[in-house]
Structure 1
Amino acid sequence: MSDTQIPDPVLDPAVHVAGVQEVAPDVLVIPDRGVQLVPNIGVIGGERAVLVVDTGMGTANAEQVLAFASEVAKGRRLYLTTTHFHPEHAFGAHVFGGAATYLANRAQADDLEAKGPGYLEMFRGFGSPVADRLDGDVRVPAPDEVYDGAYDLDLGGRTVRLRPTGRGHTKGDQVIEVPDAGVLFTGDLAEAGQFAIFPWFPPYDTDVSGIGWLAVMERLAAGGHRVVVPGHGEVGGPRVLADVRDYLRLLRDETWRRRDSAMGEGEIAAEVRALLIERHPEWVGREWIEKGVGCLCSEHA
């Protein structure tokens, strides 16, 4: 998958449990600290059990997360779920074997089995420090329990909703809702202060759907969530969802308007990139704009 290379991160993608944020009672976030390929990780507590959301990339990161979650749990049962199959979110789940029950939606489990090995190989090819995080015994995880449709997890006095969204950033995206606290964990369906990450790597991976993603974000933005924990970037409120929705809508409209005029994809990408950077000069991840244009060109009717 050499054509799928993304820029190497400047910093080691290391999870640090220092600086944990409590965004609601017994709802904690281990923040990404603005480091590429480090996700925001959730630890959600109930009276009888604790749910961890995402693991970080590799064994050492996941060991820190498991140790922290175990300390929080103080003997309560542990569960793990992941928002989607990408390595920084799920490729530490093997560490939780025997300590937690790993839950995943059917489409994500299928992604892990079918595409996980290729992504592991691809990320190991990025060179140090990413490859170092995936060295040794890191392997593609297999969930303990796989569910079709929605899954309500009773933690004791708190029910957490695991909700597959349908095709968007990946085929297997799911969001995690904590209804009593008004908290939503989005995975990479939403980022804060960043252009949407389009893993558009033809012919290797073309499962991302700009049309589907926009439909998902329109639903989520209407959901009335108080706190939004994006896959990457600072925790915020409903504005995080609205910003991604508005960006995807603008990306679609500007791409398709130019496609309607029979403009070539390269020229479309150049014009749309300039327009969107002008609109959001402070956002990071500019390399994903062209990927988004390519995806939406392929979905142009």
Structure 2
Amino acid sequence: MTDEPIPDPAVRVSDAQEIAPDVLVIPNRRVQLVPNIGVVAGTRAVLVVDTGVGTANAEQVLAFASEVAAGRRLYLTSTHFHPEHAFGAHVFADRATYLVNRAQAEDLKTKGPGYLEMFRGFGGAVARRLDGVPVPNPDVVYDDGYDLDLGGRTVRLRPTGRGHTRGDQVVEVPDAGVLFTGDLAETGQFAIFPWFPPYDTDVSGVRWLAVLDRLAAARPRVVVPGHGELGGPRVLDDVRAYLRELRNETWRRHDSAMGERAIVAEVRALLIERHPEWAGREWIERGVGCLCAERAA
């Protein structure tokens, strides 16, 4: 993260847009620490994908989803355990069934408290939004995948294995051709590498790229990234291209016995020159560190 104050990560449900029949997205509007949030409806139930950070955001999302549901059953899932995606789940208790994959449930249990304190440490609006927020506790934990019947529409919850986190999950709406990726994909910014040794080293640039290769092969009609504008299959193609670029430039220098500090400086300058309009430049250094460690392993 940057040292600059983080703007208030407020979800704005009034901006919700229908991207396919009965598939709505509350867009993040490029506000830091605001995810793209999904609401997917069937004839019997409605699924919410991610909550926003903290109680007040999640209350807005729950109210919006309840209006969409109009008495139908509610479900909630999160694409991964990071606070802006999952740390509003407590608001849905007794109102919705919260489902996650087993690796994400373990991330919530083992890393959730640390990430909660880290995000509170950002201070300002972020800390206020997390005041009194507990670590989420899922109702249903699944292993290899979960097909959720919403009535006339089955949504597929699929764990991907290590990538951005150990417990990443994508949400597929096959009849609409829509794929929610969480932070496996972003648009308009450098890929987010939560590489925080020794506390969290689960992110894997190598495995992340392999995950995206598999997802891209399906050519979804609409890709909803964790942050940034929605798009088509090119969203996945562009992130794959960047991860290959980051890997190749890092490993070429690593193999020449260049020190990591020098690698960071050169790769950072090169990638900013190639992508001057992208946000999140602070994640380049984290990505280089991750890939250096993977190359050395």
Q: What is the TM-score normalised by the length of structure 1?
A: 0.97
SS in 1 for 2:13: coil
Asked if the contact 1:188/1:232 (under 8 Å) is kept, the reply is yes
> Which of 241, 244, 247 is 1:246 aligned to?
241
The alpha-carbon deviation at position 279 of structure 1 amounts to 1.4
Residue 52 of structure 1 is matched in structure 2 by 48
The alpha-carbon deviation at position 8 of structure 1 amounts to 4.9
SS in 1 for 2:24: strand
Alignment pair present for 1:12 and 2:14: no
Residue 133 of structure 1 is matched in structure 2 by 129
Alignment pair present for 1:187 and 2:192: no
> Which of 238, 256, 260 is 1:265 aligned to?
260
Which string of whole-angstrom CA distances, capped at 9 and with x for unpartnered residues, describes residues 72-103 of structure 1? 00011000000000000000000000000000
CA distance in 2: counterparts of 1:222 and 1:242, whole angstroms: 10
CA distance in 1: counterparts of 2:245 and 2:292, whole angstroms: 14
CA distance in 2: counterparts of 1:268 and 1:71, whole angstroms: 51
The alpha-carbon deviation at position 19 of structure 1 amounts to 1.4
SS in 2 for 1:300: helix
Residue 89 of structure 1 is matched in structure 2 by 85
Residue 171 of structure 1 is matched in structure 2 by 166
> Which of 147, 155, 161 is 2:142 aligned to?
147
- Amino acid corresponding to residue 271 of structure 2 in structure 1: L
Alignment pair present for 1:207 and 2:202: yes
- Amino acid corresponding to residue 254 of structure 2 in structure 1: R
The alpha-carbon deviation at position 221 of structure 1 amounts to 1.3
Asked if the contact 1:184/1:225 (under 8 Å) is kept, the reply is yes
CA distance in 2: counterparts of 1:52 and 1:120, whole angstroms: 22
Alignment pair present for 1:222 and 2:217: yes
The alpha-carbon deviation at position 283 of structure 1 amounts to 0.8
- Amino acid corresponding to residue 167 of structure 2 in structure 1: G
CA distance in 2: counterparts of 1:73 and 1:299, whole angstroms: 45
The number of residue pairs the alignment matches comes to 296
Asked if the contact 1:9/1:36 (under 8 Å) is kept, the reply is no
CA distance in 1: counterparts of 2:4 and 2:62, whole angstroms: 26
> Which of 237, 251, 256 is 1:256 aligned to?
251
SS in 2 for 1:276: helix
Which string of whole-angstrom CA distances, capped at 9 and with x for unpartnered residues, describes residues 249-293 of structure 1? 110011000000000001111111111111111111011001000
CA distance in 2: counterparts of 1:135 and 1:83, whole angstroms: 23
In structure 1, runs of 5+ residues without a counterpart are none
Residue 291 of structure 1 is matched in structure 2 by 286
Which string of whole-angstrom CA distances, capped at 9 and with x for unpartnered residues, describes residues 42-74 of structure 1? 000001000000000000000000000000000
What is the RMSD computed on CA atoms of the aligned residues? Answer: 0.9
Pair 1:177–1:64, CA change in 2 (3 A): same
Moved segments of 4+, more than 4 Å: none
- Amino acid corresponding to residue 229 of structure 2 in structure 1: E
Asked if the contact 2:5/2:124 (under 8 Å) is kept, the reply is no
CA distance in 2: counterparts of 1:26 and 1:143, whole angstroms: 25
Asked if the contact 2:79/2:182 (under 8 Å) is kept, the reply is yes
Asked if the contact 2:185/2:225 (under 8 Å) is kept, the reply is yes
- Amino acid corresponding to residue 72 of structure 2 in structure 1: R
Alignment pair present for 1:113 and 2:105: no
Alignment pair present for 1:28 and 2:24: yes
In structure 2, runs of 5+ residues without a counterpart are none
Residue 64 of structure 2 is matched in structure 1 by 68
Asked if the contact 1:8/1:126 (under 8 Å) is kept, the reply is no
Could you tell which deviates more after superposition, 66-75 or 15-24?
15-24
Q: What is the TM-score normalised by the length of structure 2?
A: 0.98
- Amino acid corresponding to residue 258 of structure 1 in structure 2: R
